[in-house]
Chain A
């Protein structure tokens, strides 16, 4: 074995393409500038505003993104990846209260960060000839529902199929981005107060948690 290792050719470190790295970094900075502008003002920013915020020229933007729709798609992919990374499922095996609190906290942070982008997505999804934005909207919704199913598997499993489906739809509506935005923007609730509304409602909507079978001694 030792000989084999010694005889093996020394592997070369992968070549780093500096130009490509720089280009990727520029793309990322443009996306971040776009998202930062959206957080400041919930309106689709112009190319000039994005360029100014990113510290590049408008031409630089369109060298990397053929049009603003492509930039919206890229920003959505970036945000979805970020949301998944920042919000891994926690407390999946916890008791009911722990799971409700965990899911609400995760969803609330996602809504807090993502509502402006979500609104832009919905606004432009129907006008996107490539269908890519609609696809992302659908994926984001599937992820949200998938998380609800995962976190409340115990309670959902006690329901017949049609009731389970109805409850999932109700939970999705309750924890919708606009529901969060309404509580925060229109009703002026703090982050914690808005979380409490969801926690209270989810607890009422969910059926009783089935008893855990006693461990065999």
Chain B
């Protein structure tokens, strides 16, 4: 009966038994909230300064002591990993697949709009998180997951076109699409060429249309 799963089983006299409200562990909740505030402080600082923040800056922004940070994260790399997990979850929540069955032009626009929004929101964080990622296996693994999610999404959006070509060509097209719509590509258009979101999106729309094989009738 000590098995926590057992408490969810319906006992024969369940109707008569008074229902207990689930116990809330206040200390744990507070600790989770502190972690979240530290993660959010980190992200806010990166968005403002486009640089990896120091522990002192994070503590100040979050309203905690530096010690509080290191009580919850053994080091700043662990905090970077937590920030990445948070970013992946949030980006997934806001990136629902739309227009999967729409005509080619609609799917390209839909994919570009979504990808542009993601890049616009997460580009500064991506730059900081992916910097030196190879030095941390945990971080490196997250970066790989993010890239895989991006590729999987493109494969779904452009399934009709990609399924019409041999697998070797399909791989080439996907790798090229990945390169062209990379975070770095977006950053270059917005920062170096000072393109508006619409102008930068237009570059991607045209390039994707050229790269994709013909849509099967």
Q: Which residues of A contact B (CB under 8 A)?
A: 42-43, 123, 126-127, 141, 163, 166-167, 169-170, 172-176, 178-179, 182-183, 186-187, 189, 196-198, 200-201, 204-205
Contact = CB atoms under 8 A, between A and B. Distances in A.
Given A170-B204, A196-B172, 8 more contacts: A166-B203, A170-B207, A174-B180, A179-B182, A182-B147, A182-B182, A183-B175, A201-B179
A197 B207 CA distance: 15
Contacts of B203: 166, 169-170
Given A141-B192, A169-B189, A182-B179, A176 B172 contact: no
Interface string B180-217: 10101100110011000000001110110011000000
A194 to B, nearest CB: 8
Contact of A182 (B171, B178, B211): B178
Given A169-B193, A170-B203, A205-B210, A200 B176 contact: yes
A108 B144 CA distance: 22
B51 A197 contact: no
B71 interface: no
Contacts, number: 80
A205 B144 CA distance: 27
What interface size band does chain B fall in? Answer: 20 to 34
B79 to A, nearest CB: 19
B106 interface: no
Contact of A126 (B51, B132, B178, B192): B51
Contacts of B176: 174, 197-198, 200-201, 204
Interface in B68-93: none
A17 B56 CA distance: 51
Q: Does more than half of chain A's interface fall in helix, strand or loop, or is it mixed?
A: helix
A26 to B, nearest CB: 30
Nearest to A199: B172
Contacts of A163: 206
A163 B199 CA distance: 11
A167 B179 CA distance: 14
Given A141-B192, A166-B206, A182-B147, A173 B50 contact: no
A63 B178 CA distance: 45
A201 B192 contact: no
Interface string B9-24: 0000000000000000
Given A141-B192, A169-B189, A173-B184, A179 B206 contact: no
A172 B195 CA distance: 15
11 contacts: A43-B135, A123-B131, A141-B192, A167-B206, A176-B179, A176-B184, A179-B178, A182-B147, A182-B178, A186-B144, A201-B172
Contacts of B45: none
A187 B144 CA distance: 10
A173 B179 contact: yes
A189 B168 CA distance: 12
A176 B182 contact: yes
A57 B66 CA distance: 37
B185 A173 contact: yes
A164 to B, nearest CB: 11
B134 A176 contact: no
Nearest to B195: A169
B194 to A, nearest CB: 12
* Residue from A43, A172, A182, A201 having most chain B Cβ neighbours under 10 A: A201
